[in-house]
Amino acid sequence: MTYLRESAQEVKSHDQEQIEQAVRGYRQAKGTIRRYYYKDKLRRRIKKRLKKQPKMLVAYNTKIIAAILLKDIDIVDVCVDNSITLRCRCKTTDGLLDLDKLVASGELDELFSLAMRCLINERVIASVSISREAFKNCLKSLNADAG
């Protein structure tokens, strides 16, 4: 997970305009083909920035970071203890709800499982969850900030 933290920092350390353009294009695009175009563009831009990461992880970290960025979520930190904690900042209520959907859909489970499998060279099943209490507190906070 250190690699994921470093990847997120590497992406942030460069000019954000190109990343933000691809994210905006994705959100504004009509139709699946146009959205795929911008999603692919975002992934290529992220991948291009991950020069310090092991090549075997670049594709997985790119997918994880892109999935999160497309939902208006910012990776703040990745902590490893008894479990792996991914701290995110949701800028909007929609971003928080999208994060919840991303977790509920199992998409993050699959992406983290693939990345972990690549690292330890064994079959791994990752389970990503959001504490209901933390979710409610974040939702209250975002709603209070909105007025």
The alpha carbon torsion through 83, 71, 2, 61 (nearest 10 deg) reads 120
| 70 touches 39 (CB < 8 A) | yes
Residue 147 has pLDDT above 60, yes or no: no
∠ at Cα 70 (66, 73), nearest 5°? 95
Q: How far apart are CA 13 and CA 25, in angstroms?
A: 21
Residue 46 has pLDDT above 90, yes or no: yes
Q: How far apart are CA 49 and CA 14, in angstroms?
A: 8
pTM: 0.77
* CB within 8 Å of 39: residues ≥ 6 apart: 26, 66, 70
pLDDT digits (tens, 9 = 90+) for 68-126: 888 878 878 777 777 777 788 887 888 888 888 888 898 888 888 887 777 777 787 88
